[in-house]
Amino acid sequence: MKFFAALVLLGGVLPGMAAAKESDPPDSIYQLEARLTDQAGHAQGLDLYRGSPVLITMFYGSCQATCPLIIDTLRSTERGLSPEQRAKLRVLLISFDPERDTPEALRAIAATRHIDTTRWTLATTDAETVRAIAALLDLQYRRLPSGEFNHSTVIALLSPRGEIQARSTQLGRADPELLKHLH
């Protein structure tokens, strides 16, 4: 916790150190100072895809039930786009589960599910950052005593500057609301 306290203090004294840019709109979620680690083990900010439209969601890798559907739903959404639109779109999946979703575990998921990591990123972060990102996306979750996670599903579309333009809670098919904003 001391480490986070230091970060908060630094953020107050040296705003230039934050990932956020002065030009971020008031509603940009990129103002959150989040330290993510991607499937390749590289440190990233929440704004790693700044400048592109992004579909952002949260998941956990060991989920056996509904959750693999999240990847299918993201794919269905991509299939609703033209090749040009698809080439511009980026996808960011952030894990609820810092303990088990290590970069190695994320890499295995990416390989098994044939995920194109040039446009998609699977990322892990610490438990406190999970809380903050879930709060920004208005996504509810709780860790069950079994180590599983119980969570609502939200796929949000971010503008190139990190504003939430559309939010979908649908699973299994492309949400027309998301497609409308992407077309």
Tokens of 180: 């409308």
Establish if 9 lies at the interface with another protein (CB under 8 A): yes
Contacts of 14 (CB under 8 A, 6+ apart): none
Q: Residue 159 gets which letter from DSSP?
A: P
Establish if 83 lies at the interface with another protein (CB under 8 A): no
Binding another protein (rule: CB under 8 A), the pick from 124, 149, 179, 182 is 149
Establish if 72 lies at the interface with another protein (CB under 8 A): no
Binding region for another protein (CB under 8 A) out of 42-50, 81-89, 115-123, 150-158: 150-158
Give me the least distance between CB of 116 and another protein, in Å please.
24
Binding another protein (rule: CB under 8 A), the pick from 1, 16, 22, 43 is 1
Identity of residue 122 = L
Alpha carbon distance 176, 168 (integer Å): 9
Give me the least distance between CB of 40 and another protein, in Å please.
26
Give me the least distance between CB of 1 and another protein, in Å please.
5
82 phi, psi to nearest 5 deg: -75, 160
Establish if 82 lies at the interface with another protein (CB under 8 A): no
Q: Is 54 exposed, middle or buried (0-12, 13-18, 19+ CB in 10 A)?
A: buried
Establish if 135 lies at the interface with another protein (CB under 8 A): yes
Closest among 144, 104, 152, 138 to 29, alpha carbons compared = 138
Per DSSP, the three-state class of 126 is coil
Using CB under 8 A, list all residues that contact another protein: 1-2, 4-5, 8-9, 11-12, 15, 20, 24, 26-29, 31-32, 63, 65-67, 70, 128, 131-132, 134-136, 138-142, 144-146, 148-153, 169, 171
